[in-house]
């Protein structure tokens, strides 16, 4: 049974960068990794594929072609299996239903969800409807992480996500801080993690290397393996693979959140 | 990448996969089915199925259910149903509305933990072939241990064949099919009687889908009775897909009931050509039997799903076909069936019964030889 994880967090906070760097770091350690991009933007795997955009399941479904595993599962950095679900054009149809249909199809066509040591679901920032938690509700995600910075709004989103996750009855494994350079950030997120009954797993500094590598189509692990931030991702990856501890997160009230982020 | 050959356009509403799932649950002897969806969904069939002793209830999702989800409603209905009806087997069936918004039927089962088996059917009405609804229902029944792998595989083959039959010559053969009332019953009855009087020999075939056989069998019965009355009973050979050992529980029971009725009336069944769910393939047996023994017969009366019979060995006979689909008339005529009779509204009359039900053509035939 692979570890099946999803990283949640406010839109734009760095979920996809974190997911792909963790995937690459785990692949370096010899783990079989699968990454499933559940975002209609389909930007989860680009940096594992040297900047290449792969066809999404939704693209192929729209064309009405007969879909086979090879058409939707692609080998990226060190054999990381990459799948992008994609979605309808913005403002048309129902992206949530798209995820449900695509996940069902993927389960039927491919063993990539089972024959792996780690499966990462990269979800969009906003869980706008039922479809976006289909992997969780269908029992395909067994552990969740929350990514946040120390600022009020990302923490507010993280807090809301914790609320949602406790309702969904899915295990919670910890908080990851992706720094935006706010003052006292590590302490704030550490405190938040404690108060929701969890733990801070990593503090990822803000580093322009992430964006530079991304622009060229690579993960930090691949393009700048000797950088300090690559080390941070590697440590996080090891921690994820080693940790078995999970909890049901509590959530804080808004007043406490504001207080916590007071500088 | 091979592009799937584009399927023909569907212009005409088609039988619903949700409804197909409901009928399958009935055949699996489910006591109560919960439709997780809007109150109007599948209304007519839900009511009809209650005639057959299976309760069908709804979570009646409304606008706010579409927006906020309906899990609480489903849990509530599931608990209510258990308390009120004390079912031994429950079905939960999805609908377009609940499936689009991503409702997990299993979540409700997890929350309620009923101590009777629950068959969860994640289905909507958006499939081209309604047999998809049957397959999904059977998959869940298999998962719940209610049917075995062998029966599941058998059903899957039959369903594939059924879909092919409809594509070839049935409801899925054209994008739009004009309804027709078919030929006048008394004219057709007159012609059958005339052939019998002339001493012509006929094959009397029941190839019906499940419970519809309760009424179609009445026509085959009438043909025998009329022939006997005219003193030419031995000119008729009877074949029927009434194997009592094949199919889901209700299907077998139906076959047994009809056989008993026929036996009680002294009808001799010469050939059993399959089970009541084997109408898509039983025609192959008919085809062989005719080639072996009856190729020189003059006419054939075929009730139920006549368009599933291969034309190879019957094309030179005068064909009398009885269907319950007004939209089946044109395809049957195109195939070369000479006389096509429609028993309108047959299906509803065959729900909730366990004896042969009188048909219009049967009654007409009997009436016309009453004084002979
Ligand atoms: N530690 C970091 N240092 C510097 N830049 C970062 C860091 N983490 C992420 N970024 C950058 O932030 C931007 C947003 O990141 P990313 O796309 O991973 O966010 P996301 O949470 O997946 O967004 P969305 O919710 O839209 O999917 C990217 O350009 C990424 O390179
Ligand atoms: S659209 Fe689907 S859910 Fe709505 S009534 Fe029709 S079959 Fe039922
Ligand atoms: Mg992202």
In chain B, the residue whose alpha carbon lies closest to the alpha carbon of A134 is B102
Taking residues B311-332, what's their average pLDDT?
96
Please judge whether B104 and A137 are an interchain contact, meaning their C-beta atoms are less than 8 angstroms apart.
yes
Question: B260 CB contacts (<8 Å, ≥6 apart)?
Answer: none
Residues in chain B: 372
**Predicted confidence (pLDDT) at residue B2 exceeds the cutoff of 70:** no
**Predicted confidence (pLDDT) at residue B298 exceeds the cutoff of 70:** yes
Please, which pLDDT band fits residue A247 given cuts at 50, 70 and 90?
confident
Phi, psi of B240 (to 5 degrees): -150, 150
List the beta bridge partners of residue B275: B243
Taking residues B232-247, what's their average pLDDT?
98
ipTM above 0.90, yes or no: no
- Least CB–CB distance from A130: residue in B1, B2, B103: B103
- Interface test mutation site (partner B, options A38, A65, A95, A130, max chain B beta carbons within 10 A): A130
Closest among A157, A189, A202 to A261, alpha carbons compared: A189
Helix axes B213-229, B185-197, angle to 10 degrees: 40
Residues of A in contact with B99 (CB under 8 A): 97, 100
Closest among A81, A82, A84, A80 to A25, alpha carbons compared: A80
Taking residues A107-126, what's their average pLDDT?
93
Please judge whether B102 and A96 are an interchain contact, meaning their C-beta atoms are less than 8 angstroms apart.
yes
Q: Please provide the average confidence, as pLDDT, over all residues in chain B.
A: 95
Closest among B314, B236, B243, B315 to B279, alpha carbons compared: B243
Predicted confidence at residue B353, as pLDDT, reads 96
**Does the CB atom of residue B18 touch ligand 2 within 6 A?**
yes
Distance B41 CA to ligand 2 centre (A): 5
Of B81 and A1, more confident: B81
**Predicted confidence (pLDDT) at residue A263 exceeds the cutoff of 80:** no
Closest among A74, A26, A72, A76 to A48, alpha carbons compared: A76
**Predicted confidence (pLDDT) at residue A259 exceeds the cutoff of 60:** yes
Residue whose tokens read 């009654």: B363
Euclidean distance between the first and final Cα of chain B, in Å?
Answer: 69
**Does the CB atom of residue A220 touch ligand 1 within 6 A?**
no
Candidate from A11, A15, A17, A150 with most ligand 1 atoms within 8 A of CB, to mutate: A17
User: What percentage of chain A has pLDDT greater than the value 90?
Assistant: 77
**Predicted confidence (pLDDT) at residue B1 exceeds the cutoff of 60:** no
pLDDT tens per residue across span A30-71: 999 999 999 888 899 999 999 999 999 999 998 888 999 999
Three-state DSSP string of chain B: CCECCCCCCCCCCCCCHHHHHHHHHHHCCCCEEEEECCCCCCHHHHHHHHHCCCEEEECCCCHHHHHHCCHHHHHHHHHHHHHHHCCCCEEEEECHHHHHCCCCHHHHHHHHCCCCCEEEECCCCCCCCCHHHHHHHHHHHHHCCCCCHHHHHHHHHHHHHHHHHHHHHCCCCCCCCCCCCECCHHHHHHHHHHHHHCCCCEEEEEECCHHHHHHHHHHHHHHHHHHHHCCCHHHEEEEECCECCCCCHHHHHHHHHHHHHHHHCCCCCCEECCECCCCCCHHHHHHHHHHHHHCCCCEEEEEECHHHCCCCCCCCCEEEEEECCHHHHHHHHHHCCCEEEECCCHHHHCCCCCCCCCCHHHHHHHHHCCCC
**Predicted confidence (pLDDT) at residue B87 exceeds the cutoff of 60:** yes
Tally C-beta pairs within 8 A across A and B: 37
Predicted confidence at residue B3, as pLDDT, reads 52
Euclidean distance between the first and final Cα of chain A, in Å?
Answer: 44
User: What percentage of chain B has pLDDT greater than the value 70?
Assistant: 98
User: Any idea which of A70-84, A88-102, B255-269, B326-340 has the lowest mean pLDDT?
Assistant: A88-102
Closest among A139, A244, A231, A148 to A191, alpha carbons compared: A148
Distance B128 CA to ligand 1 centre (A): 42
Question: A16 CB contacts (<8 Å, ≥6 apart)?
Answer: A37, A39, A43, A44, A122
Please, which pLDDT band fits residue B371 given cuts at 50, 70 and 90?
confident
* Integer-rounded Cα radius of gyration of chain A: 17
**Does the CB atom of residue A39 touch ligand 1 within 6 A?**
yes
Q: Please provide the average confidence, as pLDDT, over all residues in chain A.
A: 93
d(CA A191, CA A198): 10
**Does the CB atom of residue B96 touch ligand 2 within 6 A?**
yes
Residues of A in contact with B104 (CB under 8 A): 137-138
Please, which pLDDT band fits residue A169 given cuts at 50, 70 and 90?
confident
Rounded to two decimals, the pTM is: 0.86
**Predicted confidence (pLDDT) at residue B5 exceeds the cutoff of 60:** no
Predicted confidence at residue A244, as pLDDT, reads 77
Taking residues B312-331, what's their average pLDDT?
96
Catalytic residue among A68, A111, A126, A194: A126
Are residues B301 and B210 in contact, defined by beta-carbon separation less than 8 angstroms? no
The number of the ligand 1 atom at minimal distance from the alpha carbon of A205 is: 1
Of B124 and B170, more confident: B124
d(CA A211, CA B65): 43
Q: Which two tokens stand for residue B129?
A: 């072939």
Residues of A in contact with B126 (CB under 8 A): none
Taking residues A203-219, what's their average pLDDT?
97
**Predicted confidence (pLDDT) at residue B7 exceeds the cutoff of 80:** no
The number of the ligand 2 atom at minimal distance from the alpha carbon of B42 is: 8
B143 interface with A at CB cutoff 8 Å = no
Residues of A in contact with B124 (CB under 8 A): none
DSSP for A158-198, written as a single string: HHHHHHHHHHHT-EEEEEEEE----TTHHHHHHHHHHHTT-
Question: A81 CB contacts (<8 Å, ≥6 apart)?
Answer: A32, A33, A34, A35, A73, A74, A75, A112, A116
Taking residues B26-45, what's their average pLDDT?
97
Of B9 and B327, more confident: B327
Of B283 and A166, more confident: B283
Angle (CA) B180-B350-B51 rounded to 5° is: 120
Question: A75 CB contacts (<8 Å, ≥6 apart)?
Answer: A81, A82
**Predicted confidence (pLDDT) at residue B147 exceeds the cutoff of 50:** yes
Predicted confidence at residue B245, as pLDDT, reads 97
**Does the CB atom of residue B39 touch ligand 2 within 6 A?**
no
**Predicted confidence (pLDDT) at residue B167 exceeds the cutoff of 50:** yes
Question: A212 CB contacts (<8 Å, ≥6 apart)?
Answer: A224
**Long-range contact set of residues A186-189: C-beta below 8 Å, sequence gap at least 24:** A186/A150, A187/A150, A188/A150, A188/A155, A188/A260, A188/A261, A189/A148, A189/A149, A189/A150, A189/A155
């Amino acid at each position: 049974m692979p570890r099946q994880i999803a990283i949640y967090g406010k839109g734009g906070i760095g979920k996809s960068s974190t997911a792909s760097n963790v995937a690459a770091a785990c692949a370096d350690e010899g783990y079989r990794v699968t990454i499933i991009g559940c975002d209609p933007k389909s930007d989860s795997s680009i940096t594992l594929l040297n900047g290449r955009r792969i066809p999404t399941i939704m693209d192929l479904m729209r064309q009405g072609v007969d879909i086979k595993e090879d058409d939707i599962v692609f080998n990226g950095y060190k054999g990381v299996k990459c799948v992008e679900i994609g979605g309808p054009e913005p403002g048309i149809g129902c992206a949530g239903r798209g995820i449900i249909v695509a996940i069902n199809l993927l389960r039927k066509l491919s063993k990539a969800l089972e024959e792996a040591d780690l499966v990462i679901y990269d979800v969009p920032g906003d869980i706008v409807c039922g479809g976006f938690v289909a992997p969780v509700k269908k029992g395909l995600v067994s552990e969740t992480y929350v990514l946040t910075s120390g600022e009020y709004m990302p923490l507010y989103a993280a807090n809301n996500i914790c609320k949602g996750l406790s309702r969904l009855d899915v295990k919670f494994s910890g908080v990851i801080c992706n720094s935006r350079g706010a003052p006292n950030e590590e302490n704030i997120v550490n405190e938040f993690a404690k108060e929701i009954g969890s733990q801070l797993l990593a503090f990822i500094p803000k580093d322009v290397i992430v964006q530079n590598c991304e622009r060229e189509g690579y993960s930090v692990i691949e393009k700048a393996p000797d950088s300090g931030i690559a080390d941070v991702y590697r440590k996080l990856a090891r921690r994820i693979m080693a940790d078995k501890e999970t909890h049901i997160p509590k959530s804080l009230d808004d007043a406490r959140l504001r207080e916590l982020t007071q500088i | 990448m091979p592009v799937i050959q584009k399927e023909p356009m569907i212009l005409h509403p088609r039988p619903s996969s949700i409804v197909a799932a409901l009928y399958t649950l009935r055949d699996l002897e489910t006591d109560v089915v919960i439709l997780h969806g809007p109150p109007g969904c599948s209304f007519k069939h839900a009511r009809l199925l209650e005639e057959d002793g299976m309760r069908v209830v709804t979570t009646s999702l409304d606008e706010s259910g579409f927006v906020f989800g309906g899990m609480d409603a489903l849990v509530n209905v599931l608990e209510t149903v258990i308390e009120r009806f004390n079912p031994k087997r429950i079905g939960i069936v999805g609908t377009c509305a609940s499936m689009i918004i991503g409702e997990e039927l299993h979540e409700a089962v997890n929350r309620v933990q009923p101590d009777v088996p629950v068959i969860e059917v994640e289905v909507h009405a958006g499939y081209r072939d309604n047999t998809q609804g049957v397959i999904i229902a059977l998959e869940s029944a298999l998962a719940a241990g209610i049917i075995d792998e062998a029966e599941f595989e058998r059903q899957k083959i039959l369903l594939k064949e059924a879909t092919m039959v409809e594509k070839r010559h049935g409801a899925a053969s054209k994008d739009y099919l004009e309804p027709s009332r078919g030929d006048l019953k008394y004219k057709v009855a007159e012609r059958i009687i005339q052939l019998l009087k002339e001493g012509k020999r006929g094959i009397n075939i029941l190839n019906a889908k499940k419970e519809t056989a309760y009424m179609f069998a009445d026509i085959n019965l009438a043909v025998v009775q009329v022939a006997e009355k005219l003193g030419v009973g031995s000119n008729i050979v009877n074949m029927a897909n009434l194997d009592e050992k094949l199919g889901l529980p209700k299907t077998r029971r139906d076959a047994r009931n009809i056989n008993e009725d026929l036996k009680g009336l002294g009808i001799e069944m010469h050939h059993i050509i399959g089970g009541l769910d084997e109408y898509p393939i039983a025609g192959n047996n008919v085809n062989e039997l005719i080639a072996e023994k009856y190729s020189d017969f003059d006419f054939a009366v075929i009730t139920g799903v006549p368009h599933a019979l291969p034309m190879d060995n019957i094309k030179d006979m005068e064909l009398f076909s009885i269907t319950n689909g007004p939209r089946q008339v044109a395809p049957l005529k195109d195939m070369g069936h000479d006389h096509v009779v429609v028993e309108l509204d047959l299906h509803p009359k065959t729900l909730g019964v366990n004896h042969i039900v009188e048909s219009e053509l049967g009654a007409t035939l009997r009436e016309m030889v009453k004084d002979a």
